[in-house]
Structure 1
Amino acid sequence: MAQETFAFSSSALRSLRLQRELLEQEERRRALARELSTRRLLPPAAPRPLHAPPRRPQYCRDPAVHNALYTGDLERVKSIFKDEATANMVLETVSEELVWSPEQGLWVLSPRKKQTSALRIAAARGYEDCARHLLLRGAEADAVVGGRGPLHDAAAAPRPACARLLLDFGADPNLLSAEGTAPLHLCTAPDSLPCAELLLAHGARVNLGTRERALTALHVAASRGLAAHVALYLRHGADPARRSRQGETPLNAACAAAERPPETPAYLQVAERLLAAGADPRAAGRKGHTPLHNACANGQHGLARLLLRHGADPTVRNGAGDTPMDCALRALREYPQQRPEGTIALLLLHGAGPVHPKMLRFCCGHPPALELLLNASERVPPADAWVGAVPPELWEEHRDFYASAVRAAGRPRCLQHLARCALRRHLGARCPAALPHLALPPP
């Protein structure tokens, strides 16, 4: 038997998968046609007057109904939801929550109502059979109950099978929730990529912004470090230069959100793809922060190097008057393990000027960074601005270094150091590219 078997080629496997998907789609279409034909055999409902008021929704607080939906009990769901009226019931829960009462000056228990629909619960839980039954019984695919529609919950969960079912039944991929978000904005987890692909394939607008902040799906994916989502949206025409209401570009959003060291590789991939698509590394966003300001403020050495390589300006000031170097120094105490001296050397190499002496107090507790900044000027600045901020135990540990830095304050530097400073000042941001071509003596 083993001698008669053979391996399928990749093209043959793709063809078989495509054929299987087409067969499954045809079976779903036939099942839907059978259900619809069955419904047409039922006695027609009485015609509603042209100017009749909209039907008032039915409300249900029965825990048994809720449990049937939350557990995905298809038989019980079929016995409860038999027609259009029951399929579109508003399911309501009331819970007691502590709220502050200014009149009484204390915390009091207050009832809070939460509303949802049967289709929302089934879509969020991934109960595809229950969702199909509800849709065939007349549940509205775009009904916004409790602030969201079923497709919002399917995308946020994420539940690709339910999202596909809703879209097949005509759900609007651009429907806005009460918060002003479309389903594509809720694809915020790595495993939501299939949902994002489905939404785009069914006409989701990739550059649609949220109602309040005008954030696009690219902003959301970039701020979450979702490199695969970013690549998908860019292939579908997402604009990397689109700004939010606060002036943030997706690159600004990615660099501002890259705070935790374990997530650095993901945000680095996001930034690389945005820059390759034409994102501006000098675009100033909220409070005048450029992507380089954000990267330095978060201690992201890799992001800073990438941005500088693509032309970011290390001398520009934000709305508070701080340069990227100032941001890197302010973040030094928070990120001492993320090579802060490497970021400082990088900024100096790309044309950042010497810092104001008062800024040295932010790095005086990190001798490698302090040494770099002291050597970046033609004359060592006075020690009065920073020496008092050195912790006593750190002074004892690095006594020789701190004592030499205090002694060197105000003294003239050697000719070699002055030549180095003059060369760096003359080249500015061209320094990394020009230095290899200079006829310098070996070290």
Structure 2
Amino acid sequence: MSRRDTFVFTSSTLRALRHQQDMLDWETERRALARRRLLLPKARKMITPRPQPAGESKYCRDAVIHNALFTGDLDKIKCIFNDEATSNMIIETLTDELVWSPDMGLWALTPKPKYTSALRITAGRGYTACAKLLLHKGADVNASPGGLSALHDACAGGFTDCVQLLLSYGANPNILSEEGSAPIHLCTTPKTFQCAKLLLEFGANVNILTRDSQMSPLHVAAQHGLEEHLTLYLCRGAHVCSRNREGETALNAACACAEKPAEGGRYYRVVQKLLSGGADVRVAGRKNHTPLHNACANCSYRIVDLLLQHGAAVNQQNCAGYTPMDCVLQGVEEYLDWQPEGIVLSLLNHGASPINPKMLKLCSLSPKTMEVILNSYDHIPLCDSWVESVPPELWQEHHTFYSSVVQMTNQPRSLQHLARCAVRGYLDRHCHSAITQLQIPHTLQEYLLLRIEGSIK
């Protein structure tokens, strides 16, 4: 047992244990009083107490025993859990939870009992030797006090040795929790990969769905950006087109969850693998929100470009009437450092519909994004709707650009620009591919593809 798995019995620790014991004693007295009240005759009819999850004699509220389990003290556990009855006791703890109090009109911390088992506690903390002892003494490997089994806890913690032990003792790899999740649904971190692999080797269903949300293991892996898990599931026959309750595929889930730049790389690789596995880039959920809508809303430039290369519908509207372009423009201010101009550029070069000038106010703080949009017009519209929202310091920093926009308002654009608009209008959604194939200088190709220059001409 390592040092980090124990704690010193300081005075504060002792007070905490005494407080825990006091709370458990208080709960026991409260229950006893409640039972006595229920047994009183009322209207000549005896009221039967509500059934408990297990017999009262099998409850354990001893804080010292709790401490032995939570710290993995094998010697104490050997002394305490020496037969089948003790090994299957329901461990009851009290935790303070915020509960709304109508009488006080506020949220109050209220002690609430929680149920678990000795096997759940030890397996969920990676105490393999302790879990093995309990199983040897007759602990039920599939017991689920509190709604979860020991296998759920071990998988959630990524404790491969405990998962191996439980499965070898006959743990059901497809057992559902009270909330309807199988152990494989709780493999949500990179360190749980071996746990997921073991579950599949022992017969876990790679396409098992959660009860309520209808999420498959593939959905979960995509949602958390778990490339190894996703590859494993696809190799074991996961249905790449499986939809959850909202009608979304794993591809939708991956694009929706790629919210941080630091995680963009792994989500990009997940999207790549899903597309290689046959994921349909045009599948929308019940709200008609496509993977492209999600990627644009998160300003995930590389994922947007990948989806467009695979034929994503660039002008499809969701149930709110928003196109992918609307989604990225609404997030420009939030993602100023994430190159929103690159996404707008890609969408326009893949045939996105003309942008309503009223939307310019959404990108007034991103000069590059505004330049791309303005260069898709054959004239510069009035700037009254957005010019006042530009902070003085930003105006000063990009004075050349903003001044050129104001000067060109309602002025005829250059013949060169008008020719660019004509070529782009003719090629439409094929701009991204056709222009690069034209036998013209590279600089002219970039100009036709709305290269950012820092001013409007």
TM-score (norm: length of structure 2): 0.82
Partner SS, residue 262 of structure 1: helix
The match for 2:300 is 300
Equivalent-residue separation in structure 1 for 2:295 and 2:380 (angstroms): 28
Equivalent runs, 1:276-295 vs 2, <5 Å: 276-285=276-285, 287-295=287-295
1:51-105 Cα deviation digits (max 9, x unpaired): xxx9836101011221222222223222211222111100001244443311232
The match for 1:216 is 216
Please, which moves more after superposition, 187-196 or 96-105? 96-105
The CA deviation at 1:316 is: 1.4
Are 1:59 and 2:59 an aligned pair? yes
Partner SS, residue 124 of structure 2: helix
Equivalent-residue separation in structure 1 for 2:356 and 2:402 (angstroms): 19
Are 1:125 and 2:147 an aligned pair? no
Partner SS, residue 100 of structure 1: strand
Matched AA of 1:323: T
Equivalent-residue separation in structure 1 for 2:310 and 2:184 (angstroms): 30
1:23-51 Cα deviation digits (max 9, x unpaired): xxxxxxxxxxxxxxxxxxxxxxxxxxxxx
Structure 1 unaligned segments of length 5 or more: list them. 1-53
The match for 1:265 is 265
1:347-379 Cα deviation digits (max 9, x unpaired): 111111221011100111211111111010222
Matched AA of 1:419: A
The CA deviation at 1:321 is: 1.4
Equivalent runs, 1:89-100 vs 2, <5 Å: 89-100=89-100
The CA deviation at 1:421 is: 1.9
The match for 1:227 is 227
Partner SS, residue 370 of structure 1: helix
The match for 1:29 is none
Equivalent-residue separation in structure 1 for 2:305 and 2:269 (angstroms): 13
Equivalent-residue separation in structure 2 for 1:346 and 1:55 (angstroms): 61
Partner SS, residue 129 of structure 1: helix
Equivalent-residue separation in structure 2 for 1:248 and 1:197 (angstroms): 25
The CA deviation at 1:428 is: 2.5
The CA deviation at 1:140 is: 1.0
The match for 2:83 is 83
Equivalent-residue separation in structure 2 for 1:255 and 1:394 (angstroms): 32
Q: Residues 181 and 210 of structure 1 are in contact (CA less than 8 Å); yes or no, is this contact kept in structure 2?
A: yes
Equivalent-residue separation in structure 1 for 2:100 and 2:194 (angstroms): 42
The match for 2:399 is 399
Q: 1:107 to 1:256 in 2, by over 3 A?
A: closer
Equivalent pairs, count: 390
Q: 1:331 to 1:134 in 2, by over 3 A?
A: same
The match for 2:113 is 113
Matched AA of 1:295: A
Equivalent runs, 1:139-288 vs 2, <5 Å: 139-285=139-285, 287-288=287-288
Q: Residues 295 and 304 of structure 1 are in contact (CA less than 8 Å); yes or no, is this contact kept in structure 2?
A: yes
Equivalent-residue separation in structure 2 for 1:411 and 1:293 (angstroms): 35
Please, which moves more after superposition, 284-293 or 80-89? 284-293
Structure 2 unaligned segments of length 5 or more: list them. 1-52, 445-457
Equivalent-residue separation in structure 2 for 1:216 and 1:180 (angstroms): 12
The match for 1:362 is 362
The CA deviation at 1:410 is: 2.7
1:253-300 Cα deviation digits (max 9, x unpaired): 111111111001010110000000011111112532211111111111
Partner SS, residue 94 of structure 1: strand
The CA deviation at 1:211 is: 0.9
Matched AA of 2:363: C
Q: Residues 357 and 381 of structure 1 are in contact (CA less than 8 Å); yes or no, is this contact kept in structure 2?
A: yes
Matched AA of 2:171: A
Partner SS, residue 385 of structure 1: coil
The match for 1:346 is 346
The CA deviation at 1:107 is: 4.2
Q: Residues 357 and 385 of structure 1 are in contact (CA less than 8 Å); yes or no, is this contact kept in structure 2?
A: no
Matched AA of 1:172: N
Are 1:432 and 2:435 an aligned pair? no
1:390-443 Cα deviation digits (max 9, x unpaired): 223323333332232123223333333223223222322222222233344663
Q: 1:327 to 1:113 in 2, by over 3 A?
A: same
Runs of 4+ in 1 over 4 A off after TM superposition: none
Over the matched positions of the two proteins, sequence identity in percent amounts to 53
Matched AA of 2:160: P
Partner SS, residue 92 of structure 1: strand
Equivalent-residue separation in structure 2 for 1:379 and 1:128 (angstroms): 71
Partner SS, residue 384 of structure 2: helix
Q: 1:289 to 1:61 in 2, by over 3 A?
A: same
Equivalent-residue separation in structure 1 for 2:96 and 2:441 (angstroms): 77
Matched AA of 1:59: Y
The CA deviation at 1:132 is: 1.4
